Amino acid sequence: MGLGTKRFSGLFSTHRFLSLLFAVGLLATAMSAASEAQAQSYRFTNVSIEGNQRIEGATILSQAGIARGETVSAGQLNDAAQRIRASGLFEDVQVVPQGNTLVIRVIEYPTINRVVFEGNRRLKDPDLQGFIESAPRQVFSPTRVDRDVATLTEAYEQNGRVSARIQPKVIRRSDNRIDLVFEIFEGGAIEVNRVSFVGNRAYSDRRLRRVVDSKQAGILRAIVSRDTFNAERLEFDKQVLRDFYLSRGYVDFRVTGTNAELAQERDGYFVTFNVQEGQQFRFGRITTTSEIPEANAAEYQDVLRIRSGVVYSPTLVENSIARMERLAIRQGVDFLRVEPVITRNERDLTLDVEFMLVRGPRVFVERIDIEGNTTTLDRVIRRQFTPVEGDPFNPRQIREAAERIRALRYFEDVDVNAREGSDPNQVVVDVDVEETTTGTLSFGGSYSSDGGFGLTLGFSERNFLGRGQRVTAQISASADTANYNLAFAEPAFLGRDVEFAIQTSLLETDSNNSLYDTIQGVFQPSLTFPVAENSRLSLYYRAGYSEMDDYVGASPTLAAEATQGGLFSSGIGARIVFDTRRTGLNPNAGVLLDAGLEYNGLGGDQEYMKYSMRLAGQTLVFNEEVTLRASLEAGALDFMGGDRSRAVDRYTGQVMRGFDSNGMGPIQNNEILGGNLFAVAKFDVEFPLGTPEEFGLSGGAFYDVGAIWNVDTIGAAQSTGFKPRHVVGLSLFWESPFGPLRLNFSKALKKEPGDIEREFDVTVRTEF
């Protein structure tokens, strides 16, 4: 039994050994054959190139890298074929030796006849063409088409269409030409179903949603475009969140992470921002020190507006530095730099700021290079820079100039950088811009209870002929009103920070819904310039024409005024505006003061003084959830000599809510006369309703008190003295696709006989 087993094992070992020897022999034979093939060489005296139509034979031969009479191996022939293919000009390449002739056969890629997009609705053909590399009259390249497909897919993803599919197809034409067709299936928009925050305590999700640009999809998702998901927008949202918290003293704030989770149904994203707020800091001690002999620290300390106890904001620090540097320029102190040194006081949560005045490097602006402005003139961009060629270089001034260029809204993209010039003491400022559309044409309809249905046609251009000038024209008409407006503005008159403007208007009304026809025309050129950091002064000349005609009422006063026909007025005026809504110490509050004085009597048919004033303020309370507003408005007409005001001159408009546009004031025979004086105080509160933010709804309440009074009459009249009306009401604010709307429901608590009450109206919401 044991011997038999040993014999079988030996036979098996011998068989396996013979099989191994046979396999080794076969492998050696194959390697020898391959070596002989590799070692086989060719020598050609002729080269024949076949199949090329556009590409010269010499070009193909140079790409092959084989010269006549050169001895080459089969491996080198293969390498030559690969080099020709790598040129991207040929669909197929064969390198075949035939005796002493080397034959190179090629099939050229066709030429693109045209590029066509099919199935696209969200993005239009011109937009898609700008994304891709393939273009007519180019040689077709599969690699380039693959890149185009990836680029188009990314473009659709950025527009919220993550399920979009792009399929390239080729349609053969004669003469080795093709039509390149991109068949597009756009799919549905992937929207943001919810935007939420984790870690926020000082401010609610509702308040933070108003900060970020990503918006939740709402009932108007087919119209609103901001609710589609865009991954790149998240980075912007992180930055604006940081800016929001920093401006409110949360210096340690940071976004620890963002999460965009696709819903299981793949029809929406859930976006979550993880935040860490930290503590709120306020300004502590504010001091100024100087290392420059000619810069007195006390003088620079006096220009600061920051005070201890104010909530810390980097913007206030930046504004303070800018004020100090402007003072240095006025005093002729070159190369002064302000370096803020901030010291934290953890115990009382304050930040001490020491402004150090130091001497900066002696660097000058060599030149300012501007590129990319195909329409806008260079001077429009260059005048946004405070320094010019040869001036000391100040990085802060360059950053401020970049912000001013962006604020023009002439450009899609603005990139401003500084680089070393011809020597280390010179700097070249490069400005790269990308133009965008600046003109709009509008057409719309309207309805009001006063004038019925109306149509409006308007045109505006904010960069007229690339000169930075503004031109607007508008025509609006209804059943009994026609209004024509034309305006022109040059924001940098004579190269200065002075705006020259011309405004013209013509208003015609008939007596369908009123007691008389009117014609009112105005021609008003003006100059506006800054007089302080937050104040601008306007000086203007005004020429006017007013006419009352076809009176059909019973008031002796109005009848006498209508018989005067048309009257001309000519005068000068001044208006000053003080505005801290964006530059005040408190980012949640601001004040606006608008006051005017006008004298008419430089020729014309009337002599009078006109005074106007508006004071408004706003603040946010309860963690910025509730907005409080208050305003005081007043106006006065003072006719001189024997002149008397007319209804077309007096205040008859809707100065307060709760009454018709001509529904309060002095009255005679049940007809409103208007008044030479008016005053009204308005108080508003706006608050959330608890509805989903995507609805764009918020609530409000208001209280108005005011009056129109003082008029010279023929015969007896009522309410000629100051008799205040009181109105309360509720408001519904709606951020609609047609613009921000306000619906007012009002009730007059006190009114006078003859007043015409309006309990409901719809207006376009305006900021205070």
d(CA 700, CA 685): 5
- Reported as half-sphere exposure (CB side, CA atoms, 13 A), residue 221 has a value of 18
Instruction: Read off φ and ψ for residue 650, nearest 5 degrees.
Output: -75, 170
718 pairs with which residues across the strands? Answer: 667
Closest CA to 274 of 230, 190, 192, 208: 208
Residue 641 has phi, psi (to 5 degrees) of 60, -135
Cα→Cα distances 343→285, 302, 323, 349, 355, Å = 9, 21, 22, 11, 12
What architecture is the 364-435 domain classified under in CATH? Roll (3.10)
Q: What are phi and psi of 398, to 5 degrees?
A: -70, -40
Tokens matching residue 135: 């273009």
Parallel, antiparallel or unpaired: strands 364-371 and 268-276 = unpaired
- Do residues 228 and 191 lie in contact, with contact meaning Cβ atoms separated by under 8 Å? yes
Q: DSSP string covering 345-390, please?
A: ETTTTEEEEEEEEEE----EEEEEEEES-SSS-HHHHHTT-S--TT
Q: Which of 500, 441, 449 is nearest to 473 (CA)?
A: 441
Per CATH, is 41-108 categorized as 3.40.1230.10? no
Cα 30 to Cα 18: distance, rounded to the nearest angstrom = 19
CATH architecture group of domain 282-359: Roll (3.10)
Q: Which residues contact 222 (CB under 8 A, 6 or more apart)?
A: none
DSSP codes, 607-659: -EEEEEEEEEEEEEETTTTEEEEEEEEEEEEEE-TT----TTTSB-S--STTB
Architecture of the domain whose range is 191-276: Roll (3.10)
Among 594, 619, 740, which Cα is nearest to 685's?
619
CA–CA separation, 476 vs 590, rounded Å?
34
* CATH level 3 topology of 111-185: Ubiquitin-like (UB roll) (3.10.20)
Question: Residue 245: left (phi > 0), alpha (psi -120 to 50), or beta?
Answer: alpha
Cα dihedral sign, 250-251-257-261: positive
**Pairing state of beta strands 282-290 and 350-359?**
parallel
pLDDT of residue 567: 95
* Number of residues that this document lists for the chain: 768
Of the candidates 110, 115, 77, the one whose C-alpha atom is nearest the C-alpha of residue 96 is 77
pLDDT of res. 218 = 61
| β partners of residue 705 | 681, 726
Tell me if domain 191-276 and domain 282-359 are identical in fold.
Answer: yes
| C-alpha to C-alpha distance for 724 and 705, rounded to whole angstroms | 6
- In three-state secondary structure terms, 3 is helix
For 260-310, write each residue's pLDDT tens digit. 887 766 667 889 999 999 999 999 999 999 999 999 999 999 999 888 999
- Fold adopted by 512-764: Porin (2.40.160)
Q: What is the pLDDT of residues 9-39, one digit of tens each?
A: 443 344 454 455 554 454 544 444 444 444 4
Q: Within 10 Å of residue 10's Cβ, how many Cβ atoms? A: 10
Q: What is the pLDDT of residues 86-124, one digit of tens each?
A: 777 777 788 888 777 888 888 778 888 999 999 888 888
pLDDT value for 222: 47
* DSSP E strand boundaries for 278-362: 282-290, 336-345, 350-359
Which 3-state string (H, E, C) describes 712-766? CCCCCCECCCCCCEEEEEEEEEEEECCEEEEEEEEEEEECCCCCCECCEEEEECC
Question: For residues 521 and 484, what is the distance between their CA atoms, to the nearest angstrom?
Answer: 9
140: DSSP letter:
P
Mean pLDDT over each residue of the chain, to the nearest integer: 85
Q: Taking Cα atoms as reference points, which of 230, 228, 226, 234 lies closest to residue 258? A: 234
Q: Say how far apart CA 141 and CA 88 lie, in whole Å.
A: 7
Structure tokens at 482: 């026609």
Mean pLDDT by 10 residues, the chain (768 residues): 39 46 49 46 78 73 73 79 77 79 81 89 85 88 89 81 83 87 80 87 90 74 56 86 93 92 73 94 95 92 90 91 90 91 94 94 93 93 91 90 92 92 92 92 69 82 93 90 95 92 94 80 96 92 94 92 93 95 74 96 93 94 92 95 88 89 90 95 94 84 96 90 95 83 94 92 74
Assigned token pair, 728: 């309360």
Q: What is the DSSP letter of 53?
A: S
Domain residue limits, the chain: 41-108, 111-185, 191-276, 282-359, 364-435, 512-764
* Gap between the Cα atoms of 509 and 517, Å rounded: 5
User: Of all helices (H) and strands (E), which one includes residue 420?
Assistant: strand 411-420
Three-state SS for 33?
helix
> What would the DSSP string read from start to end of 93-154?
EEEEEETTEEEEEEEEPPEEEEEEEES-SSS-HHHHHHH-S--TTSBP-HHHHHHHHHHHHH
